């Protein structure tokens, strides 16, 4: 459904953009304030206990997960994620979605129903929303220096004269494969 909300508006990242890399970097950076919140609310210890890991290992796992989540965010929201005006909102929505689907739903199912409560639960919610907010704010700025130049990207054969004979859908597929 979300895709249909976005589709037909050319939201796909352009061929000169690197959404996965910029999303992953943004996701990693955005984890810093989220960790602060997790520590302040005592959520980190509780999550570590639920997962049966040390807090440090929990952090490392969380960091990797957030890099992947950041990449998924930037790829999924595409050009919308690159908007300085709206990026914060998409990021926060994505963070909220991660909380609802991951922390509230998936985590208890995977861990025999064990879930954080009290301040620890508030910390988890807040940290993911802040992570999303920070990722949303960062992506528009991180992705710019990662751009391929117009000069170089325009040399790509796919955008050259052969495009006249291509089917719309194959152009689309070609672009996807070169983008990622």
Partner 1 sequence: MIRVVALNKAIAAGLAGAAAMELFSVLSTAAGLRTVDMVAELGGLDFHGMPLLAHVGGVVVHLAIGICWAVFYAFFFWGRFHLRPIFQGLLFALLPATLAIVVVYPELALMRVHQPMLTLDVHRFFAPLGWATVASLLVDHALFGAALGLIYRRPVGYAVGRKPAPPRARRSGTSAPKRNPNASGFMFATGVECSYPTIDHGTWRRDEMESTRHYEFWQDDFRLAREIGITHIRYGPPLHLIFEAPGRYNWEYIDPQMAELEEFGPEPIIDLCHFGVPAWLGNLQNPDIGKALQEYAAAFAERFPWVRFYTPVNEMYVCARMSALDGLWNEQLHDEGAYGRAAWNLADASIRMSDALLERRPDAILINGESSEFYQPCCPDPEIEKIAKAANERRFLPLDLIFAHKLSPDMHELLYAQGISTADIEKRERRKVPRRSILGVDYYEWNERLIDREGHARALGELFGWYVIASQYWQRYRRPMMHTETNKMDAHGAARWLWRQWHNVQLLAKSGVPLVGFTWYSLTDQIDWSIGIAEAIGLVYPVGLFDLNRESRIVGLAYKHLIDLYKDHPDYSECKALKELMQ
Comparison of 16 and 21: residue with beta carbon closer to partner 1? 16
DSSP code at position 157:
G
DSSP code at position 52:
T
**Interface residues toward partner 1, by CB under 8 A:** 5-6, 8-12, 14-17, 42, 45-46, 49-50, 79-80, 82-86, 89-90, 92-93, 100, 104, 108, 112-122, 125, 140, 147, 150-151, 153-156, 158-161, 163-169, 171-172, 175
Comparison of 67 and 99: residue with beta carbon closer to partner 1? 99
Comparison of 60 and 141: residue with beta carbon closer to partner 1? 141
Q: How far is the CB of 135 from partner 1 (least distance, A)?
A: 15
Q: How far is the CB of 2 from partner 1 (least distance, A)?
A: 8
Contact 41, 123 (CB under 8 A): yes
The number of CA neighbours under 13 Å toward the Cβ of 14 is 15
Burial class (CB in 10 A: 0-12, 13-18, 19+), 31: buried
Q: How far is the CB of 69 from partner 1 (least distance, A)?
A: 18
Contact 130, 34 (CB under 8 A): yes
């Amino acid at each position: 459904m979300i895709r249909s909300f976005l589709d037909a508006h050319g939201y796909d990242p352009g061929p000169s953009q690197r959404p996965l890399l910029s999303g992953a970097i943004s996701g990693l950076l955005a984890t810093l304030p989220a960790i602060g919140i997790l520590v302040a609310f005592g959520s980190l210890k509780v999550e570590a206990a639920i997962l049966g890991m040390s807090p440090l290992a929990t952090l490392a796992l969380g960091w990797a997960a957030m890099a992947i989540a950041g990449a998924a965010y930037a790829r999924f929201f595409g050009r919308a994620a690159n908007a300085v005006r709206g990026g914060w909102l998409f990021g926060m929505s994505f963070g909220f979605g991660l909380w609802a689907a991951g922390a509230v739903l998936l985590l208890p199912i995977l861990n025999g129903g064990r879930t954080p409560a009290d301040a620890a639960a508030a910390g988890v919610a807040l940290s993911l929303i802040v992570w999303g907010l920070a990722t949303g704010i960062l992506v528009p700025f991180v992705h710019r220096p990662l751009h391929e130049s117009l000069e170089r990207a325009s040399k790509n054969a796919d955008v050259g004269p052969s495009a006249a004979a291509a089917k719309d859908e194959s152009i689309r597929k070609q672009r996807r494969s070169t983008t990622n």
